[in-house]
Structure 1
């Protein structure tokens, strides 16, 4: 028995095997004496408590010695390496391989250009001129008071038409902030009002899908014609879009007609098939990590930035210019990705089919996130959207749990490779930077697609099957974010983050209206009072005028210095007994702030007052 305490003592001994054997055969007498006088042995659950907790943590974080670098052993290696053997038979020399790569690349590029020109160049329609390329959010009438007093900036209201073409998948484009239509608040649904006669502020492409003029899968072209003021826009559900009802009149409305022989269809799907084929061929038939990574990046980026999810730009020349401006810095980021992270994942990888499915497939899945993740009830990762959108909180919680599971998995692999300490330091720097940015006053931290990729790609730098999938997916998200939105700032002001949402501004206080009913003419009069100049809320918003909407059209605008009295009066007259909706809002510098919710002057002349709260 060893005097230093139990069988573990020999693990720390420097004795060789012969010395240890002699020690066992000829135990020292003093050892026995000490053992007899020693206290009872330490219970097993307390063994090792003499070693510091700090030392144990450092030992665990450092990982096993020697480290175990992860390498993928192909499943069915003969099958997975068959494309490599085939290319070696066809093109045994480096020069022949280079020629074949150039030929395949040129074929993809020429086909891509032809489809892009066919997708974007407008045609002509007799009597209407050039076909105008629209985006999914384009409208004839601008919302709120942006068409000016009585809609003067959106005239003419009738007897004009426009030949247009729409891209595919406009049916899924929704308003992301509440918009008032009479007393209704429209949010997270397509802004289509009525049908087959549509209110003038309806989105054109969504309305054309609802009317059956174009289809959502391919887009298409048609003619939109203004027909002036109409009444009663019913709610109908057609072609996957449920329109909004409006039970009063509006000064501008429109209808559609088809263009016979229209060939201006969205070519994103043929283009996607072409780009997929190109990247799959490169992935299967090359073991060169830089060649595969570069080809995949350029092919996916071109497809997303010019065809599948381009920015909202109608002109082809402007679109190409924007894409080129974003491609160069994105390519630099991709070079950094490859040099420090992707090379370790892809170097000497001969599992050709696994690489294609996991890495390239993940990349395409992330890059086409406007389709692949469209089912998620999270449009934007902002507190406002998380609070408002149905199901967003549950979806976010599930995503967070999934990220924690993946992070735990990656930590285990990094520890086995002996690289966990440096990555803990890196992510500590990331966390500190995020904390500093989030603490800056008057600015909000916005985590975009590309930022998520920048933060998480380093943690995938190893050659395991899960890491191939995660890294490809994150690379795709990076491409989608840059191609669609560019390097958007991670720090945004209140105005930039709000977009077209409510300001939270001061609302006018409107007295009970005075109603006068007549056989031929009726009137309703409203009175309000501006807040005092020295009022803190007034000074905060710089209130200088008031705007009044009737049926969502601005009918009255007065500036503070136009009338001397403190109290002001607005009178509205009508001949016909139509239901009408009134909203009041202050303005600053010619721009409207928040409006009140709608009050209703009913057909029978009764007044239904304003509900509490603001509207836009």
Structure 2
């Protein structure tokens, strides 16, 4: 877990903070404490002695590191514009937001089917183990009580807060039902560990309830984005300079993933997959406040040459 934390924080998804060391260390110590608690209460129970290196890889290494890299999944799954759609001018001179169609690709469909099949199999094995252990009632009581408290609190503060379940919280919530000494439990725990590592290392310990009363003034969105020089793994993105008293930083986002932050008015994005469609937008970042991604553009990477 320690290696995974610093891999995400330093290489995979560095923390975008003016005080990088402070942000990372502020997360790392609580991260270690919770990781130790997870090991004591369920982790060491679900680790059967592996008989072969391939078994260790399949049960522990692969699922954990796959979800440590879950930020890359948005490059594969449908490039639906979840940032508000594309603005177009209507016949009467108004502005309308048009949602582009969802573009599925064969790899995304294959991964989705495989993930659902694995999830159903793991749930069957875990629920069967809970039933055989005779602890069904305590598990049901605990989860139903926690869910009831969450729902009641969410309803009580719904006018000022909205609920956001972070994936590190999902990993911690599912962890207790995996405390059984068998392969499926170890596999499920590896997935939960990957969610916990990636979530905390990149996003920190975000709250389940986010206050909506404070609305800072956000910068205007960047329009008139130009995309050129498309290749198999990227393209050149250009945009007009923003008119602010304080020079803004520009954040280039592809399929909800920030690819770069620059002070120039262009950025070369790379590392994409060939022959796929992507959304790109540019946000103004002024005095720490990020603008919206309303001026989206769609582009296609060129197909890989046939060998």
- Fold-level similarity (TM above 0.5): yes
For 2:76, the equivalent position in structure 1 comes to 375
1:122-156, CA deviations, whole angstroms, 9 ceiling, x for partnerless residues? xxxxxxxxxxxxxxxxxxxxxxxxxxxxxxxxxxx
Alignment of 1:470 with 2:188, yes or no, is yes
Distance 1:389 1:477 in 2: 30
Alignment of 1:487 with 2:188, yes or no, is no
Q: CA RMSD in A?
A: 4.2
For 2:130, the equivalent position in structure 1 comes to 414
Q: Pick 1 or 2: higher relative contact order, CA cutoff 8 A, min separation 6.
A: 2
1:56-113, CA deviations, whole angstroms, 9 ceiling, x for partnerless residues? xxxxxxxxxxxxxxxxxxxxxxxxxxxxxxxxxxxxxxxxxxxxxxxxxxxxxxxxxx
Distance 1:475 1:305 in 2: 16
1:91-110 counterparts in 2 under 5 A? none
Closer/same/farther in 2, CA of residues 449 and 378 from structure 1, 3 Å limit: farther
Alignment of 1:307 with 2:30, yes or no, is no
Match of 1:339 among 40, 44, 48: 40
The answer to whether the 8 Å contact 2:43/2:179 transfers is yes
Give the drift of 1:373: 5.5
For 1:452, the equivalent position in structure 2 comes to 170
Q: Tell which structure's C-alpha radius of gyration is larger.
A: 1
Distance 2:196 2:25 in 1: 16
Closer/same/farther in 2, CA of residues 472 and 379 from structure 1, 3 Å limit: farther
Give the drift of 1:443: 0.7
The answer to whether the 8 Å contact 1:306/1:323 transfers is no
Give the drift of 1:426: 2.2
1:229-308 counterparts in 2 under 5 A? 297-308=1-12
1:185-243, CA deviations, whole angstroms, 9 ceiling, x for partnerless residues? xxxxxxxxxxxxxxxxxxxxxxxxxxxxxxxxxxxxxxxxxxxxxxxxxxxxxxxxxxx
Match of 2:141 among 419, 425, 440: 425
Q: Unmatched 5+ residue regions in structure 1? A: 1-296, 503-550, 556-590, 598-616
Match of 2:31 among 307, 330, 351: 330
For 1:321, the equivalent position in structure 2 comes to 22
Distance 1:492 1:501 in 2: 21
Name the SS for the 2:14 alignment partner.
Answer: coil
Give the drift of 1:472: 0.5
Distance 1:373 1:458 in 2: 29
The answer to whether the 8 Å contact 2:162/2:211 transfers is yes
The answer to whether the 8 Å contact 2:167/2:195 transfers is yes
Name the SS for the 1:346 alignment partner.
Answer: coil
**Which sits farther off after the overlay, 484-493 or 428-437?**
428-437
1:454-509, CA deviations, whole angstroms, 9 ceiling, x for partnerless residues? 1112222223222222210110111101000100111113378999699xxxxxxx
The answer to whether the 8 Å contact 2:80/2:102 transfers is no
Q: Unmatched 5+ residue regions in structure 2? A: 86-97, 221-239, 245-288, 296-307
Distance 1:465 1:358 in 2: 7
Give the drift of 1:409: 3.4
Alignment of 1:360 with 2:64, yes or no, is no
Alignment TM-score, normalising by the size of structure 2: 0.55
Distance 2:215 2:53 in 1: 44
Give the drift of 1:344: 0.6
Alignment TM-score, normalising by the size of structure 1: 0.29
Match of 1:434 among 132, 150, 159: 150
